[in-house]
Structure formats: C-alpha cells, structure tokens
Structure 1
Amino acid sequence: MDIYVLAGFLVHFGAAIWAIYHNLLFKRDTRAALSWIMICLLVPYLGPLTYYLFGINRIQRRAQGLKRGLLAVAYEIADHKPAKHTPKALAGSHSSITAGATPYNTNLARIGYTVSGRSLVNGNQVSALHNGDAVYPAMLLAIEKATKCVYLTSYIFKSDRIGKRFIEALSAASERGVDVKVIVDGVGNLYSFRRSTTLLRNKGLKVVQFLPPTLIPPSAHINLRNHRKILTVDNTHAFIGGMNISDDNLDYPKRLRSVTDMHFEVSGPVVDQLTSLFNYDWHYAHGHDTATVDCAISPNTGDMACRLIPDGPDESLDALAVTIQTVISSATERVAIMTPYFLPSREMLSAIQSAAIRGVTVQIVLPLENNLFYMHWANRNLLAELLNWDVKIYYQPSPFCHTKLLCVDRSYSLIGSANLDQRSLRLNFELGLEVFSESLNAQLVDHVHEVIQRSTEVTYQQLASRSVLVRLRDSLVSMMSPYL
C-alpha cells in the first residue's frame, strides 16, 4: 500500500474514532448520534471535520468550564434540580396567585417554574402589535424618549430604509448621553449586503456581532445562532417577539410587505429580566465589557403575570422544548399554535397527539408558502400523524407569516422568538415569555381564528395524493430535520 494512502487512511481513521468517542459520550439523541457516526465513518476527512464544526455544543462546555481530562467528560444534559413548588414562588412577589380578578391555572404556572426556576412576576402589561407598520414606529418612539439606556438584540438588522431609521434613532440617543448597545447575530448580519454593524460603528455606537463566522480559522460556532429579538428602554418597557428589522415587514407605496409578523410591547417588572438577559448575551459576545447603567426596576403597569424562559445551547438547554411539551400535555380545553417552521421532535409530536386524544381542541396554523421551501417539504412528512388524531392544521395564504404563538386553555400564552423546530429549540439562543392573562389569550386566539377563516385546511387526502417522487423528496428532507 502506498505510504501516502496509508497515512491518509490513518488520519481519517483517527479523526473518525475521536468523533465517535465524543458522540457516544455526549449525544443523548440516538438518532442524531447514529447519523453523525455514519457520516464520520463513511465520509473521508469531511465527515469528522463537519462533526467538529457543527456537532459539538461548545457553548455548554464553555459555560461548564473546560478543565476536563480525557476520561472525565460531562454529560450533554446539565444536572437540573427542579424548583420546589410553593404558592409564593409561583406568584412572584404577591401572595395570591391571580391575574386580574380571575385565578389562573396553577398547574400551568408550576411547569415554567419547575423548568426555569424563575418565579412569575405580577404587575405587567403585554400588548400585541401587528407587522412593522405598528411595531417599528412604537420602537422608534421609545428610543427617541430614552433617557438612560437602550439595549437592542436582533437576529437580522438590515441596512435598508427602516434599518437606517433605527441607526439614526440609536445614534441620536447616544448623542443625548443614553447608553446604547446593539447585538446582531453573526450569520444574521450577512443578510444585508451593506452591514448595519459597520454603519452603527461608524456612528460611534457600541455594537457587537454574536459569534460571527470566520473562514480562517473555520468558525467552530457557525451552527449556534442568537435568534432573540429584544429591545429594552430605560428598563421600563421592552419589545420582544419574532420580528427582525427589515423593510420586508413594511408596506410601501410600490412594494407590499413580503412577511407578516407579530411583536409585543412589554412593561412592568418583568422587563428587568429582559434587560438582564441582554446583559448576559452582551457579556458572552463582547467577552469583557460588563458595565451597565443602573436603572430602577420597572413599576407595576398592569395585571398580567409573566415569566421569562431563556433557551439556548448552554445551561438553559431544552428549557423551552420541555415547557412547551408539558403545557400542551396539561391542556384541558384548547391548544392554538401559529409558527412559520414546524418540525417538532417526536416528544412534542406525542404531546400534541396526546392532547387531541384527550379531547382537547388542537389547531395549528402554518404558512402556505414558506420562505424556506425545504421546511415546507419536511413538515408535510409528519402532518398525517397529527391529522389521524383530529388535530386541525391550516395553511394560511401569502405573504409568508413569521408569527410565533402558543395559546393553551383560557389564560396561558407563550410568546417570543422560538419556532417549533429542532434547530430553534436545540441550537439557537431563544427567549420565551409566559403570559398568564385571559384578555391577552382571548385576543391571540381570536387572531388565530381570524387567520383560519381565510386559510385552507390540510386534509389526509391531500397528503396521500402526493406523487411517489414528491413523497420521497419530502421524506428525504424530513430525515435532515435536526439540522435544517
């Protein structure tokens, strides 16, 4: 055997053995582990390299510390100690477990506390805002009125017309002496040819990219993205949801919006948790700058009880997935879901099926035309499993809907940045905000029902009538769902 061929074989074999060793110790999803093992064995050189770049959770290892020996490695999931259930803990700073005058479901309240260890915070107000026409003016007005601090995180921050208005507003706030900080995801920053981060720095603003990809050396974090959207102003009110900063969310005279979305304005004591989450991300992305402006905790502004549930490939791994699965499993009346990307895990599929079998009304609204066509292909491969148990699924017409909503029974709503796919719930840094409020729940459910009225219901016959080639394509793409 040629010595070079032998050397090449030994290099690949050694790299593959290391990758398999790491896989067996860290991966608890057997399907993902088996897929990675096959890739590492059968794809020379590129297989182990791909695993090194995309298969290792470096965020969690960094959070846990790196001083580990070869045979002293941590398990992929952290040692979680469930929080104890007490009325005081569930009610935050209040002794009664109420949202307004109506008691909310303490079973649902207990779930988020057990998973996150965070108490509910009373005295908040959460308002739904539809599309950029309502969201952006409210955000810009808040920035213009800021007196102490403006902290903004966005996955995508384009340098188009609305992006430039944000840059000017942030610059003006900084010139007034307001502490302005901006985080833009490193991959999301690539969506704009002229980088907003460059324009912000040119204005003298403090801005950082979250894990920006690099070619040399190859980025080891390219698969881990910050998908959160947060704007906090003076620690008194905030804006969260799924909306990026882009003209795509706006109607212009000669250009209609290509994306519909919903964002939320939040005021009250829970804003302090959102500001703290921004500071956590800023410290991680910036590395050493932890200085923050000392702002008082926001006073009570409403009657809604809220809890922030961060999620990411760090200590908060699986927090949102477990919360969503459990609240769906606990539903007694209805579950309403609106999401742009629907590729749930087997556990979440089982929770949805279980709810429907118990007689809970389950409605899922998806976009008819997805901006990521392969996501549409992939989810069609699993919809029949839900339709068989009388889950109602609807495709809403264009434009593409980017809204993320989960409403359970009459008082529980989960809003934020997360999609119901494994990339979002396993690889991205996301945020969810639980809101216990009958009024907000009713408003969001009414919105879902209004969309359903102009949507097309998905039937088993439609899925079964796909041609063999289309079904093969959908099945093949579905197999890649953990990586889409």
Structure 2
Amino acid sequence: AAYLMLASPSIKRTTRRKRFTKAIARTGIVSDSVVPEAPGGEHDVRPPPGSILRMARALTGLPPTYGNRVELLTENDQAFRHIEEALAAAQSHIWAEYFIIQSDETGHRFLDLLAARARAGVQVRLLFDAVGSWRIDTARLAAIVAAGGQVEAFLPFNPLRRRWAVHLRNHRKMIVIDGKLGFTGGMNVGDEYSGRARNKGLRHYRDSHLAISGPAVGDLAQTFCEDWTFASGQALDCTPDPEPEPGSDYTVAIIPSGPDQQHNAHTLVTFTGISSAQERVYLTSPYFIPEASVMQALIGAAVRGVDVRVLVPETCDVAMVGPAGRAFFPDLAAAGVRIFEYRPSMLHAKTLVVDGEWGIVGSANWDIRSFRLNFE
C-alpha cells in the first residue's frame, strides 16, 4: 500500500529521459530502442556466447576490461582511510556520487576534503541523491561551490511540483579520481560506515567496498558522466580509459542497473549467475526480500545440489525488513539453502560469489527497490 501511495506518476517519463541522456552521452544520438554501446577500447574483453560477461555487456553496453587491479575493502576504517588519502592526493579531478552523505564527522571530513581540493585547483564534481542525503551539510556544499567545485542533487524531492519521484533513487556509491583510481561498493559516507560509530559504541555497519585501478575505471567514469549529465543538464566529456596495471590481470565488468534499462542488469545477472552455478553460491544482503524469479533460482540451485548460502543481518536497521525477509526462509531451507545471520553488527555488504570463479561487490540489495526502482 505504501508503494502505491507514494508511487510517482512520472516514473516512465523520468526513466525515458534517463535513457535519452545515456544515448546522447555515448553516441550523440537520441535513442530509446537499444542499449547504446560505450566507446570501446583496446583493453576490452570479448566474452564468448553464453558467458555471464557477455550478458553484462549486452545489458549495459559497457565491455568488460582486463588488466585491472582490484582491492577488496572490508575493514571500514581502512576503507575510509584509503579514500581520504586518495582524495587528498588528487591532482586533476574528483567525481563523487553517493546515495547517503551524512551530516556527521565522516560526512563533514569528506565534504571538507572536496572543498580543499577545489581550492587547490582540482576539478570537483559531487552528485548526491536528494532523498538519501536529505541531512547533508548545506553550508559545506556551499563551501565546495565557493571554492570552484560543482554540486548537484539527483532528482530533488518536491511534492508541490507535478513531476517528482520519491522512488527512482540514485543508490550508487562511487568515486573517480584523476581518471585512474575508482572506489565503489556498499559504503555510503557516514560514521556508521567509516568505523567512527563503532569506536563510539554506537550502531555501525559491516560492509564491502572496492578500490579499482586500470581500464575499468573508465567505465565508472562513463557511468558518472551519464548521471551528471542527467542531473545537471551539462554534458561532461569522459576521460580516456587508463592503461592496464602492470602485473594485474583481473577482468572487471562495471554493471550499472536501473529502471531506465529495458532489462534490469542487476536482476538478470544475479538470476543467471545463480541458475548457472555448478558448485556454490554465497550471497550477502542487508535487505533480503527476493523477487519470485530470484527465489526460484536459489531454490533450483539448491535442489540441483549446489551449496547455496545466504548471509543476512540478525538485526536489521529497517524494522519491517527483518520479519519480511524471514518469511522466505522456510521455503529456502526446505530446498536445502543454508541461511546464516550476522550478529556482531549491522551487515550492510551486498555481495555474490559463484563457484569461486567470479563475484559481485556493489550497491544493489535483494529487494524490489534494487531490482526495479533504484539506479545501482
């Protein structure tokens, strides 16, 4: 009922405009019929038919790339130390895009760093979700602008206007620094993510994030350019893809998803990955309310003898989500799915590992918002 009450009459209109923006950013041509292919590079991977990477490319138009260095960041204080050091060392530009930027010590440090780099002559662009970051420190945003940076809100929430959307939120969390280093994953900007809340004995999150260098950073930059153009109306030229990292051979596919896609990339990649698993499927999600198709994929994999494990928080920070998610447990358990609850803190990681061969670390949850409504 709440979904119907708050549903926006402009969802189709907004998603169509987002598709047009993507097409123009990639090809210069307005198109609403196909997934426009991003400009290719010499480090693109040409996946064989039937592979999950082939599907990702077809759904997003972003070719997987090789020669990437990837660092998994699971210790929150380590992750934010890495991010803050990288921001402080930026020389050319910082493009940052977040669902939540809290008005707390971590959020203030983040915004102050952006203002400092803008004063130093670094091109700073910050895109934040208008609903997720409703408590953002506006004085610090003004300081970034005064220093020469640019700030935009994604789909500002205004119920007095005819066209607005409480749904269609930008749930992405990513940074591109100098076109060479990128961060993305599940961590927003706030004390509960950085470890500062834990040090104060307050509620804190266990999360997963990635630091990426190499050609895949170009696809993160492409995603930011498209979102920035949509939110601001200003065209933004993407930087060329970085060269492969010496001695690094990770193949990475950046998989943006959202309601602007004819076929949601997050939904189809996870469904197909689970359905094609031969040995094991390990997934973590803070908000686990799977669609029927994904539910059947999990059950089907377990019945085939695949080791399927689901890790969720013991106590969810959204009160109604915990009981709603547990309603799916009996059918999953009856099929052989093993379900675990994480106790030390609020689990916020969104990950999937299939057969030990490939995995996903990202911003998307296993619920209707991430499957259908959010940009991930």
Does the alignment reach a TM-score above 0.5?
A: yes
- The equivalent residue for 1:240 is 184
CA contact (8 A) 1:58 1:221 kept: no
Cα 1:109/1:290, change in 2 over 3 Å: closer
2:351 is the alignment partner of 1:396: no
Quick one: which of 248, 251, 255 aligns to 2:196? Answer: 251
Q: Deviations over 1:121-146 (max 9, x none)?
A: 00001111124301111111111111
Tell me the CA shift for residue 378 of structure 1.
Answer: 0.8
2:114 is the alignment partner of 1:183: no
CA contact (8 A) 1:54 1:223 kept: no
Tell me the CA shift for residue 192 of structure 1.
Answer: 4.5
- The equivalent residue for 2:327 is 381
- The equivalent residue for 2:17 is 62
Cα 1:297/1:107, change in 2 over 3 Å: closer
Q: Deviations over 1:384-442 (max 9, x none)?
A: 11111100001110411100110001211111110011111200000xxxxxxxxxxxx
Tell me the CA shift for residue 345 of structure 1.
Answer: 0.7
Tell me the CA shift for residue 332 of structure 1.
Answer: 0.4
CA contact (8 A) 1:197 1:209 kept: no
Give, in whole Å, the separation in 1 of the partners of 2:325 and 2:139: 33
2:83 is the alignment partner of 1:128: no
Quick one: which of 325, 347, 370 aligns to 2:293? Answer: 347
- The equivalent residue for 1:154 is 98
Quick one: which of 283, 299, 303 aligns to 1:337? Answer: 283
Cα 1:428/1:113, change in 2 over 3 Å: same
2:308 is the alignment partner of 1:308: no
Counterpart AA for 1:62: R
2:277 is the alignment partner of 1:322: no
Quick one: which of 211, 216, 221 aligns to 2:160? Answer: 216
2:89 is the alignment partner of 1:145: yes
Q: Deviations over 1:230-256 (max 9, x none)?
A: 101011110000101001121365335
Secondary structure, aligned partner of 2:253:
strand
Give, in whole Å, the separation in 1 of the partners of 2:99 and 2:93: 20
Give, in whole Å, the separation in 2 of the partners of 1:376 and 1:337: 16
Counterpart AA for 1:375: V
2:245 is the alignment partner of 1:290: no
Give, in whole Å, the separation in 1 of the partners of 2:71 and 2:186: 14
Give, in whole Å, the separation in 1 of the partners of 2:155 and 2:249: 38
Q: Deviations over 1:57-93 (max 9, x none)?
A: 332232467xxxxxxxxxxxx856899xxxxx9x964
Q: Which structure features the higher share of helix residues?
A: 1
Structure 1 unaligned blocks of 5 or more:
1-31, 40-46, 66-77, 84-88, 98-103, 431-484
Give, in whole Å, the separation in 1 of the partners of 2:70 and 2:355: 18
Cα 1:335/1:80, change in 2 over 3 Å: farther
- The equivalent residue for 1:425 is 371
Give, in whole Å, the separation in 1 of the partners of 2:314 and 2:19: 42
- The equivalent residue for 1:74 is none
Aligned pair count?
A: 358
Cα 1:195/1:132, change in 2 over 3 Å: farther
Q: Deviations over 1:420-475 (max 9, x none)?
A: 11111200000xxxxxxxxxxxxxxxxxxxxxxxxxxxxxxxxxxxxxxxxxxxxx
1:154-173 alignment to 2 at 5 Å?
154-173=98-117
CA contact (8 A) 2:353 2:359 kept: yes
CA contact (8 A) 1:92 1:119 kept: no
Secondary structure, aligned partner of 1:342:
coil
Give, in whole Å, the separation in 1 of the partners of 2:127 and 2:160: 23
Give, in whole Å, the separation in 2 of the partners of 1:139 and 1:324: 28
Please give the TM-score of this superposition, normalised by the length of structure 2. 0.87
CA contact (8 A) 1:197 1:208 kept: no
Provide the aligned C-alpha RMSD in A: 2.8
Give, in whole Å, the separation in 2 of the partners of 1:114 and 1:317: 10
Cα 1:244/1:116, change in 2 over 3 Å: same
Give, in whole Å, the separation in 2 of the partners of 1:105 and 1:369: 42
| Structure whose alpha-carbon radius of gyration is higher | 1
Secondary structure, aligned partner of 1:356:
helix
- The equivalent residue for 2:24 is none
Structure 2 unaligned blocks of 5 or more:
21-31
Give, in whole Å, the separation in 2 of the partners of 1:369 and 1:93: 42
Q: Deviations over 1:245-287 (max 9, x none)?
A: 0011213653355212111101110100101100111111112
Secondary structure, aligned partner of 1:226:
coil
Give, in whole Å, the separation in 1 of the partners of 2:144 and 2:95: 13
Q: Deviations over 1:180-235 (max 9, x none)?
A: 00011000121457675455445553111101111322652111100000101011
Secondary structure, aligned partner of 1:310:
coil
Give, in whole Å, the separation in 1 of the partners of 2:137 and 2:178: 32
